[in-house]
Chain A
Amino acid sequence: MDATLREQAAALAGGDADPAELLDATLGRIQDRNPAVNAIVDTFPEESRRMLAEAPRGPLFGVPVAIKDEWPLPWRAERLGAAQHMGPSPSRGESGPYRALRDAGAVIVGVANMHEYGAGSTGHISAYGPARNPWDTERCPGGSSSGPGAAFAARLVAGAVGADGVGSIRYPAAYCGLTGLKPTFGRSTMVGHHVAQTTTIVSGPLCRDAADCRLLGGVLFGEVLASREPDRLRIGVVPGELWDDCDPEVTRACREAVEALRGDVGGTVAEVDFDGREHVLMASILVGQTEELADSTPKRVAALGEEVSLIARALLRYRLLIPAVAISKALRVRTLVRRSLAEVFEHVDVLAWPTVAAPAPPLENPTVEVPSGTYPADYVNPRQAGIANLAGVPAISVPVARSSDGLPIGLQLLAPWGRDELLLDVAEALERANGREWVDALPPLAS
């Protein structure tokens, strides 16, 4: 059960493991271990067994996986981690990720928790109660894909499907010490997502390492993601707050990781910059949030009861007051950033900076200390992650260290549009450079 996704798949394909026994063992582990992390909010053994009985001999034949509460399933509508839905009621159905998993032979073993409405980077608010970080259950697991991150880190499953609109796969990957891929926009299936008009959100994998993300990501992409050895890699680092306004431990660990990577691939590191950086945080939030505004009306917001969190009720009101000129400017910043990034990627192969500015904050007080001050994690995190969603480029978070408090630290890498495979190649090189120390590390709860 602690094997990687690809090891489980290989054992099942080769007849060295029994898929029904693996499913039962996984359900048993969820029952035993999930109460400590609240990562899985729903299981449905009969539906899982039916999936297994009908599973084709695909690349994930018989492998149990979890899926975020953001995707409809034929037997369950998504709830978005919220007690009350705003807008058209969700309905059961065959979402793209469901179909992709089914057609690959995978078995969906549970629905994973998420930050309420997907509107947070911490996972500390959910109608199901917060998911908890397996490295320290009093800490945030990251959001909004909090359940997928915590579920893998606690080794309830070997892989999970999340979604990333402003960093929502990469935050839990960094906080929980796993590998999370935010694919190029449009490359992974988004069929059935409640924000049908999105230009920022993508589905993506959260797994132990890059090879597992390659396997699960390939299923979501509907294609095999080839690998090759990165050679003479040109790594770009961006001066300023992306590196400097971080917890010093994070900055140091990520710099060491970049240097280890450079050494492994025989590459170079160069400082580069892109235009519009000062507006990326606000532009990525505004573009992401306003894509959902079409479903919002004052009447619907007013109808949200107290079972919806105070924060959500307040934020949904606040969103109705966003000046149109700010949204228009945000879209122009998007154009500026995309053009500038395209120019930057003529000179470097990947960009690198810390995935999050500080390790996982406490659930009771999700604020982080960085050199410029103490802020809500939700305020600082989009600065690090939002650009990939704003521009559409792929990004990956790779575990590279642990803090003095024993919490995981993640390095983020970004690549040009469509170069998701390169990111996976580079992440594998980084794992190798670190002797796989961080990808194979187990939290105490899973040891």
Chain B
Amino acid sequence: MPDEGGASATKTFVSAGLDLLELEAGDAELAVIEAVDALYRPLTQSLIDAELDGIAPEPGGDMSRAPRALEQS
């Protein structure tokens, strides 16, 4: 769970983001969003922070098949 500062940052992020989209949210909706964000923000942040530079791309990736062999990419 985020600390108090994290919770405050979440409130600011959500409110500002919805304002920019001109999308209203009631108190109940905001409370749900903040609870969801408290759970998922650390995982999202970890993903954003991840250094994934060395991964060769899979152009035209076909999910129905195994990826092409590493040496072919």
Contacts and interface: CB of A to CB of B under 8 A. Distances in A.
B20 to A, nearest CB: 9
B47 A326 contact: yes
A314 interface: yes
A275 to B, nearest CB: 9
A282 B17 contact: no
Contact of A310 (B17, B23, B32, B65): B32
A298 B67 CA distance: 36
Contacts of B62: 186
Contacts of A375: 39
The 10 residue pairs across chains A and B that have the minimum distance between CB atoms: A392-B63, A186-B64, A314-B32, A185-B63, A282-B43, A321-B17, A298-B23, A298-B21, A314-B29, A332-B52
A33 interface: no
B28 A310 contact: yes
Contacts of A418: 64-65
Given A282-B43, A313-B29, A321 B14 contact: yes
A333 B47 contact: yes
Contact of B48 (A298, A323, A416): A323
| Chain A interface, DSSP helix/strand/loop, else mixed | helix
B25 A317 contact: yes
B3 interface: no
Interface string A341-371: 0100100000000000000000000000000
Interface of B: 13-14, 17-18, 21-25, 28-30, 32-33, 36-37, 39-40, 43-44, 46-48, 50, 52, 55-58, 61-67, 70
Interface in A260-286: 278-279, 281-283, 285-286
Interface string A321-334: 11101100110111
Given A278-B46, A333-B52, A336-B52, A320 B33 contact: no
B32 to A, nearest CB: 4
Counting chain A CB atoms within 10 Å of each CB, the highest count among B21, B23, B57, B63 belongs to: B63
Contact of A184 (B14, B32, B64): B64
Contact of A326 (B17, B48, B64): B48
Contacts of A330: 47
Contact of B29 (A310, A322, A342): A310
A330 B43 CA distance: 11
